[in-house]
Amino acid sequence: MSQLPGDRFLNRELSWLDFNARVLELAEDETLPLLERVKFLSIFASNLDEFYMVRIAGLKRRQSTGLTVRSPDGLTIREQLTLITERTQDLVHRHADVFIKDVAPRLEDCGIRILHWEELADDDARRLREYFRDQVFPVLTPLAVDPAHPFPYISGLSLNLAVSVRDPDTGLAHFARVKVPNNVPRFVTVGAAGAQDVAGQATFLPLEDLIAAHLPQLFPGLDVVSHHLFRVTRNADLEVEEDRDEDLLQALERELARRRFGPAVRLEVTGSMDPQILEVLLSEMEMQPEDVLHVPGLLDLASLMALYDVDRPELKDEPFVPATHPRLSEGETPKSVFATLREGDVLVHHPYHSFATSVQRFIEQAAVDPNVLAIKQTLYRTSGDSPIVNALIDAAEAGKQVVVLVEIKARFDEEANIEWARSLERAGCHVVYGLVGLKTHCKTALVVRREHGVLRRYCHIGTGNYNPKTARIYEDLGILTADPRVGADLTDLFNTLTGYSRQTNYRMLMVAPHGIRAGLIEKIRREARNAADGRSSGIRFKLNSLVDERIIDALYEASLAGVPVELFIRGICALRPGVPGLSETIRVRSVVGRFLEHSRIMSFANDGEPEWWLGSADLMHRNLDRRVEVLLRVCDESASRELSRIFDAAMAPDITCWQLGGDGRWSRSGERDYQGELLRRVGEHAD
């Protein structure tokens, strides 16, 4: 391998902030429907919350060890945190500006208003005083801070009022904290109608404004001098010490109880925050001035999603109904999934194809089919009222053997998954919790069916979770197949996940942590050899994130050999494309839009015999080293052609996208809506 330059990697954390900046650009896009812009404002804020809870928390934890650790791009942790803070403060100000100066006035023009207390009409103020008395006041708990009352625990992501009060007799000032309750709507409806009127007009008051207007009732006999809103973000990344001799469920439950008390990593304050109160907050929560983000206007704009729920369809994208895959129905009549798969594989593309009439129906038909003997499935995330889980429970109660690997370490879904696991166990399912030291992230289902005295296996392998709710907003792909080679591979995989098998070689799969990185690098190098020998070559990857340095270096080597490389990456990209003498044949683009691009596809030209792979793995250290991931080789010609068409559409020169330059900057270009075109195409096929 030739010597590659030391500055060939982009910083992963700054690259993630660039992704969130692309989300923010959609909120700034005046061509989008107004409430869709509100939605992107909310998504930007919730994304940033999770970034601090996990990524910044992780950097701070490593910094606290005192070790000098540099990122692949050569930055120390302190240097990274400084750059992240500067970039984040800039983005937060842009975020607030687009809401305050652009979106909020446009909402008001459309009859959707957010008022402050002093702007209320007398009748509205009277009604809200009654609402406060009946619905809010009983929930509030003012907490004093003095020698007899230690500084209270501030829960992560909660809104809080820091209140300064004075004793009129002694003149002594005191500090108190009032938590804005999270079990009361953040935006209180103003007006007698309760919700919105017939014309779609809707007026709201922030809950913190309502509480602030009634602070004297919380501190009778004292003078309320001032109040300031603040919000704390805490480390929410679990560190479960996995011991083979300890019950993983108990260890995780113990760690979940600790998570709410994780160290504070970010303090958000309004621009009017009193410096003395800020000093108290920093001191009591053991934070530094660089941990503070000053936010103009409202804090926690993630809560704007409540405004998106206002019934104003003309201010939103046109609704669409996912189409049933044409091979899974005859007119309006559903077909047997098993009969269809015996004729050939089915590639489903969500949300364009309905999850309910494809993957969900596959599990539901298996649950009630008397010829089905067993169902084996991995569950990483699913919905609150999961039809998949309900079908698995029905199957177990019907006497089928049901094996479910529930990944109880799925971040932020741990408690829900523990509940699912217990519900499944009570129904008689065999539930396992994965492998020690690894998260099981693959999306796989195996159905064993007796047909004419012979057992036949039917499979689903996908890129997204078995979650019917996110399947309407996440773009994902999946293969439904009766290929006996895939069935044999999944049987081996489930034996590894549930037993002591150490299977590492498969027929149609690449499986992490042992096989994906090495398998992909070998195929990348094959393309480089083909290019060097004058044969046809080419690499196409569609990913959420590309971070793994060994794979990036292999792609650089392929580019130096002349291989055309097209990368379609939604989020983080640590590779520098288009750099002379390094990556001249590589281009990187990103699409951020109505649906969250979530599928992972890999394609290799292979000297005229193209290989297509799809699965659950992004090309990051955690996916390749610390997770069970699956990539499936797509052999069905019809499915391969469809994957090629999807990629061709994504890389077309005139679609709206962001292009990454060798300097790490993303630039927006194009006028054609890639996702809109796929919607139209699926709709035409459905007709």
Give 457's strand partners: 448
CB-based contact 181:139 (threshold 8 Å): yes
CB-based contact 400:464 (threshold 8 Å): no
How far apart are the C-alpha atoms of 535 and 532, rounded to whole Å? 8
Which of the residues 325, 350, 441, 598 is marked catalytic? 441
Residue 301: phi and psi, rounded to 5, are: -75, -5
How far apart are the C-alpha atoms of 159 and 184, rounded to whole Å? 12
How far apart are the C-alpha atoms of 440 and 34, rounded to whole Å? 39
Residue 38: phi and psi, rounded to 5, are: -60, -45
Rg for the chain, CA atoms, rounded: 27
The secondary structure of residue 152, as a DSSP letter, is P
Return the residue matching tokens 């403060």. 89
CB-based contact 208:303 (threshold 8 Å): no
CB-based contact 99:37 (threshold 8 Å): no
Give the HSE-up count for residue 53: Cα atoms under 13 Å, Cβ half-sphere. Answer: 20
Taking alpha carbons only, the member of 568, 552, 570 closest to residue 644 is: 568
Rounded to a whole number, what is the distance in angstroms from the first to the last CA of the chain? 53
Return the residue matching tokens 């007119």. 331
Catalytic residue at 460? no
Give the HSE-up count for residue 412: Cα atoms under 13 Å, Cβ half-sphere. Answer: 9
Taking alpha carbons only, the member of 645, 664, 527 closest to residue 588 is: 664
Active site residues: 441
